Chains A and B, each alone.
Chain A
Amino acid sequence: KAGVTQTPRYLIKTRGQQVTLSCSPISGHRSVSWYQQTPGQGLQFLFEYFSETQRNKGNFPGRFSGRQFSNSRSEMNVSTLELGDSALYLCASSLAGTGTNTEAFFGQGTRLTVV
């Protein structure tokens, strides 16, 4: 079966712009979560959605937002981009969410570079 698909794979944006990243989970999975990976901070949790509802949110400013659609696909948006937002953004999909008896599978990520 198809894995987790993230688009685009690479993105270059200018400071002050906004960006939208997309994640299509594995078919049948209803939980999608997002993580930011940087060399300095490592992997940090952004937010998690299940059946279009945000169930948990990490410690990121309000410029970072997300949503989930009825087909479980999810998008995350970053407004007013800063240089420090340059990172690999990873999406994870699972049946019911991490912390339940299900595995979480990650996509290849979107590499965002802010210049």
Chain B
Amino acid sequence: GEDVEQSLFLSVREGDSSVINCTYTDSSSTYLYWYKQEPGAGLQLLTYIFSNMDMKQDQRLTVLLNKKDKHLSLRIADTQTGDSAIYFCAETGAGSYQLTFGKGTKLSVIP
């Protein structure tokens, strides 16, 4: 089946930029999402990008998509301790009505 891969852990210092990477295998993916999950909570939608876009910026968040390499990244500028959480990459294909998630990247921010 289709697959989404992420590294499991990332540690950064407060104030630095964080870059979380994701690769996917489904060439028919139309939308790619980034979700944040804090302990004991559900998933919070951070941003999403349509497959015909290369980049999307939203305040401290920048999403880059390399469709040829099936690589997605999320950059968080000026990372704060409140950004510590698990970040999930997800993709969906047109008409599939389901999200395929990566295993999540646990971001730890060191004060």
Question: Would A56 and B96 count as touching, CB distance under 8 A?
Answer: yes
Question: Would B97 and A48 count as touching, CB distance under 8 A?
Answer: yes
Which A residues are in CB contact (< 8 Å) with B88? Answer: 43
Q: How many residues of B contact A (CB 8 A)?
A: 26
| B50 to A, closest residue via Cβ | A101
Question: Would A98 and B97 count as touching, CB distance under 8 A?
Answer: yes
Chain A 68-115 residues near chain B, CB threshold 8 A: 90, 92, 97-101, 103-109
| A45 to B, closest residue via Cβ | B98
Chain A: interface residue count, which band?
Answer: 20 to 34
Interface string of A14-46 (1 = CB under 8 A from B): 000000000000000001010100000011010
Interface assignment of A58: CB less than 8 Å from any CB of chain B: yes
Which B residues are in CB contact (< 8 Å) with A107? Answer: 42
Question: Would A33 and B97 count as touching, CB distance under 8 A?
Answer: yes
Number of A-B contacts (CB under 8 A): 66
Question: Would B42 and A90 count as touching, CB distance under 8 A?
Answer: yes
Which A residues are in CB contact (< 8 Å) with B90? Answer: 43
A6 to B101, CA, bound (A): 21
Q: Can you list 21 A-B pairs with a CB-CB distance of less than 8 A?
A: A31-B97, A33-B97, A35-B99, A42-B102, A43-B90, A43-B99, A43-B101, A45-B98, A45-B99, A50-B97, A56-B96, A97-B97, A98-B99, A99-B98, A100-B94, A103-B48, A105-B45, A106-B42, A106-B44, A107-B42, A109-B42
Chain B interface (Cβ < 8 Å from any Cβ of A)? 30-31, 33, 35, 41-45, 48, 50, 88, 90, 92-104
A31 to B98, CA, bound (A): 11
Interface assignment of A55: CB less than 8 Å from any CB of chain B: yes
| Chain A to chain B: the 6 pairs with minimum beta-carbon distance, closest first | A43-B101, A106-B43, A45-B98, A48-B97, A97-B97, A108-B42
